[in-house]
Amino acid sequence: MPDYQIRTLDDADIAAADALFLGTLHLPPTAAEQLDNLRPSYVPGRALGAFDGDELVGTAMSYPSALAVPGGAVPRMGAVSRIGVRADHTRRGILTALQRRQLSSLVEQGDVIATLRASEATIYGRFGYGVAERVRSITVNPSTAEIRPDLPRVGRTRLIDAAEAETLLPALYEQIGLRRPGMMTRPAGLWGIWRVRETKLDGLARTAVHTNADGVADGFVTYRAVKSGGFRAELRVEDLHGATPTAIRELWRFLIGLDLTAVIKAGSQPLDDPLEWSLVDRRAVGVDGVTDSTWLRLLDVSAALAARSYGDAEPVVIELVDDLLPANTGRYRVGADGARRTEATADLVMGVAALGALYLGDVAPSTLAENGLITWSGEPGQAALGRADRLFRTPTPPYCGTFF
């Protein structure tokens, strides 16, 4: 690569780094009065800049987070964001240099896993990221949607104002907890960046909180009402979490009961979302599509494999290839009793992106093998694939529910 330098960014670089990143997304820079909300997202040591001489031409940063994995452990995770290279410097290897530096620095900081949301699906596989969680987007017709009468209302749902939401939501998200594999902790910087984003979006954002029969808050929804003439608005569900399926259902009851709503759209719901099963007319819910959400990159493969639990099957030996973090390359025995390094003969061979994809149970090893992303040989290899399917399978699909 030519003379680009990568260094960590400090406080003085934040405005320029933010403007550069937003520019790569064709967005204007953040207003000066919002910089205080922006600042906590640039955690010291976690923001990197690529410089051409004195000029900043690329950025990459990460939030300190943690991920709920199958079995309930919550290993440390770097949530990678703000990746951008200035338009007049693309395709010269700057992202590659940033990725190399970022991945090794995340390892040094003790993160076990990295995650990101990809603007384009063709960028990150080469850096060892695989799609580990997908979401469905739905459209709900409020004029035909009605919760089944045999599911009585539980607790109550109340609207809160922006000031209350600012303090209540982070605490409530924490209290709800990482209730299923794929969910992540939300550092303060993330809530700050959402406040910044809020100042830039059209439409009216509202937050409602559900309290259970004992008066304890157990769920929240943030939605945006967007009008395009006339009285009725399109409601866009942005953030919806509940401690229980009942809390989530009650939040939906609230949404579909809102007056002057033309349509409700929710862009990132779990694949096993039970909403239509709660309705009198299940066709009030239309599925618009399924898209990739969590891209996962295992940074410390030993620690990541040891962190999750496995299904009931005889063990398999995986030969893992990781060109960018070669310390991970090697063989791992994965069994019902856990995972560890081994010298035994490998049953299956895969790259680290494939292992990231199957890590949370979203895709079966045999599906990846059908497409050449996992290789094996002979009948023993075929049998090992069946065991791997049972080992990596999880009772529910993963769901994160946090976009950043």
- Side-chain half-sphere exposure of 258, counting CA atoms within 13 A: 29
Residue 201 Cβ vs ligand COA, minimum distance, rounded to whole Å: 18
Q: Segment contacting ligand COA (CB under 6 A): 114-122, 178-186, 187-195, 395-403? A: 114-122
- Residue 95 binds ligand COA, judged by CB under 6 A: yes
Whichever of 122 and 345 has its CB closer to ligand COA, that residue is 122
Determine if 84 is a binding residue for ligand COA (CB under 6 A).
Answer: yes
Burial call 307-339: b when 16+ CB within 10 Å, e when fewer: bbbbbebebbbbbbbbeebeebebbbbbbeeeb
Between residues 25 and 32, which has the closer beta carbon with respect to ligand COA?
A: 25
The structure tokens listed for 143 are 């004029």
For the CB of residue 292, give the shortest distance to ligand COA in the complex, in Å. 12
Helices (H) and strands (E) in the chain, counts: 10, 17
Find out whether 115 is annotated in a ligand binding site: no
Among the listed residues 182, 134, 125, the one whose alpha carbon sits nearest the alpha carbon of residue 355 = 125
Active site (annotated) includes residue 124: yes
The active-site residue, picked from 124, 129, 310, 359, is 124
φ, ψ (nearest 5 deg) of residue 381? -65, -40
Question: In sequence order, which residues have a C-beta less than 8 Å from that of residue 243 and are 6 or more positions away?
Answer: 175, 176, 177, 179, 218, 219
Q: Is 120 annotated as a binding residue?
A: yes
Min separation Cβ 353 and ligand COA, Å:
14
Residue 91 touching ligand COA (CB under 6 A): yes
Q: Which residues contact 259 (CB under 8 A, 6 or more apart)?
A: none
Specify the stretch interacting with ligand COA by CB under 6 A; choose among 2-10, 88-96, 157-165, 388-396: 88-96
User: x/- site string to ligand COA, residues 14 to 53, per CB under 6 A?
Assistant: ----------xx----------------------------
Name residues contacting ligand COA, limited to 120-139 (CB under 6 A).
120, 122-123
CB 151 within 8 A of CB 276: no
Catalytic one of 173, 220, 359, 404 = 404
303, 298, 306, 348: which is closest to 325 by C-alpha?
298
Question: Of 90, 3, 13, which Cα lies nearest the Cα of 46?
Answer: 13
Among 40, 93, 170, 381, the residue binding ligand COA under the rule CB under 6 A is: 93
Does the annotation flag 285 for ligand binding?
no
Q: Which residues bind ligand COA (CB under 6 A)?
A: 24-25, 83-85, 90-96, 118-120, 122-123
Catalytic residues, by residue number, are 124, 404
